[in-house]
Chains A and B, each alone.
Chain A
């Protein structure tokens, strides 16, 4: 299932969560998973490796240590440098993905080059996209507002793909001529 956190910086997200107050690594993971990780919860290893990196970079500091039966539990706090880093991250727009190396486009060209029915490639892909969109639409019906927005983000991207599929279907004959004329 599409997931916006796949391309998100985990480090910046953890820093952002720490801005509301110091937390243990376990609490941070739980908070992250609740907000962003429904499809992809963090592994503990990822959390502690990220915190270790942030600690080394001076973006977080150890705010206290709680002794226990097992290993000591460190509580982390964001530093001033960490807050500045979050501000810088929020201020920088994400680079739009261009999808110029689309597997679907490659399949389309290969189907045309090899004389296979390219329209079937498009039709099967449309059905697959719509099935995923149905699953997201069902999920939206029961999700909270944050989950609905995550699903909407994915739905709009899938819709854009489908519009490409329609356009490609309408231009299939022209594309076939272009592809076969350019055959080396």
Chain B
């Protein structure tokens, strides 16, 4: 057992400023890295020196008891929460040093998100929900719709393309949410309790589809879960306890 301390990234091999994150991975060894992250919410310490490295194509499960800081770690890794101290690096870029606009562009273009309750837009059809991140990135409506339907087909829910989220089952809705996360062909997928609201069978199907699709496109997955059967789809687990990380294996 060793703390998951990636070491000082400042000492990592220098990377060309023009390198894409994938190229940076090849040189630096990890696609995404958190170094000694600290984060407080008022009097509560959520992260207390958490560190983590995720390689391209790797599926990592963040596990730990409720309130341990695993969701906060995911939000910091995704650039949603800025840490109070420490650094998050994506390839050769430091998220902490990026503007919020640049971080938003990164989240839209290279990251995908799946949350416990899907968080689909209720007024849009399922296909429009999946197409949404493409539209926000400037893809034309017809092309975005074509790709969205293709993704829904891949996840075996093409039949709900014209339905609204309120008209589909929880399992179907979560597959739509996975399709939305995958449609931009992200380099990293962040999944926070993606099967938390589903029964065992639907949860398994969602995890199988999510991990198969991620492996096929060599996307990394950072998966927050308290469910060991969900974590069993990962390549390795990192335990978060009292805001610190420990890794095994």
Q: Which residues of A contact B (CB under 8 A)?
A: 120, 123-124, 126-127, 129-131, 133-134, 136-137, 141, 155-156, 158-159, 162-163, 166, 169-170
Complex Cα gap A126–B247 (Å): 11
Residue of A nearest to B64 (CB): A166
For residue A162, which residues in chain B have a CB less than 8 angstroms away from its CB?
228
B residues in contact with A169, CB < 8 Å: 65, 241
- Which partner residue on chain B sits nearest A119 by CB separation? B241
Say yes or no: A133-B248 contact (C-beta < 8 A), given A120-B1, A123-B1: no
State the Cβ distance, A10 to closest chain B Cβ, in Å.
Answer: 30
Which of A131, A137, A155 interacts with B249 by CB under 8 Å?
A131
Chain B residues with CB under 8 A of A124: 1, 248
Task: Say yes or no for B208: interface residue by CB 8 A criterion.
Answer: yes
- B-chain residues with CB within 8 Å of residue A170 when the two chains form the complex: 65
In-complex Cβ contact of A136 among B232, B241, B248, B249 (8 A)? B232
Q: Which residues of B contact A134 (CB under 8 A)?
A: 232-234
**Scoring B residues 230 to 243 as 1 if CB is less than 8 Å from chain A, else 0, what string do you get?**
01111001010100
Residues of A within 8 A of B231 (CB): 130, 133
Task: Kindly state the separation between the CA atoms of A137 and B227 in the bound complex, as whole angstroms.
Answer: 14
> Contact at A133–B239, with CB atoms within 8 Å?
no
Q: Which residues of A contact B53 (CB under 8 A)?
A: none
| Residues of chain B from 205 to 249 with CB closer than 8 A to chain A in the complex | 208, 227-229, 231-234, 237, 239, 241, 246, 248-249
Question: What are the residues of chain A within 8 A of B239 when measuring CB–CB?
Answer: 123, 126
A127-B237 in contact (CB<8A): yes
Q: Are B1 and A159 closer than 8 Å at their CB atoms?
A: no
Asked if A133 contacts B228 (CB within 8 A), the reply is: yes
Q: How far apart sit A124 and B1, CA to CA, in the bound complex (Å)?
A: 7
Report the Cα distance A169→B239, complex, angstroms: 12
Report which of A126, A155, A158, A159 forms a contact with B248, defined as CB distance below 8 A: A126
Contacts of A131 in B (CB 8 A): 249
Q: Are B246 and A155 in contact (CB under 8 A)?
A: no
Q: How far is the CB of A160 from chain B (nearest CB, A)?
A: 9
| Chain A residues near B234 (CB-CB < 8 A) | 134
> CA separation between A130 and B246, bound complex, in Å?
15
Minimal Cβ-Cβ distance residue in B for A159: B228
With a cutoff of 8 Å between Cβ atoms, the chain B residues found around residue A130 in the complex are 228, 231-232, 237
Q: Mark B102-113, 1 if CB is under 8 A from A, else 0.
A: 000000000000
Cβ-defined partner of A133 (8 Å) among B65, B232, B249:
B232
Instruction: Give me 16 A-to-B residue pairs in the complex whose CB atoms sit less than 8 angstroms apart, sorted by A's number.
Output: A123-B1, A124-B248, A126-B239, A127-B237, A127-B248, A129-B228, A130-B232, A131-B249, A134-B233, A137-B229, A155-B229, A155-B232, A159-B227, A159-B228, A159-B229, A169-B65
Q: Are B208 and A141 in contact (CB under 8 A)?
A: yes
Q: Is the CB of B228 within 8 A of A123?
A: no
- Complex CA gap A108/B233 in Å reads 28
Min Cβ gap B64→A in Å is 9
Closest partner residue, chain B, to A135 (CB atom): B232
Q: Which residue of A lies closest to B249 (CB)?
A: A127
- A-B complex: 7 closest residue pairs judged by Cβ atoms: A127-B248, A133-B232, A162-B228, A137-B232, A159-B228, A134-B232, A159-B229
Closest residue of chain A to B212 (Cβ to Cβ) is A141
Q: Are A123 and B248 in touch, CB under 8 angstroms?
A: yes
Within 8 A of A (CB), among B101-137: none
- Kindly state the separation between the CA atoms of A162 and B231 in the bound complex, as whole angstroms: 11
* Closest chain B CB from A149 CB (angstroms): 12
User: B25 to nearest A CB, angstroms?
Assistant: 23
Q: Who on chain B is nearest to A124 by CB?
A: B1
Chain A residue nearest to B232 (CB atoms) is A133
A123 to B233 alpha-carbon distance, docked (Å): 19
B5 to chain A, nearest CB (A): 16
Distance, CA A131 to CA B248, complexed state (A): 10
CB distance from B202 to the nearest CB of A (A): 14
Query: Chain A's nearest CB lies how many Å from the CB of B59?
Result: 10
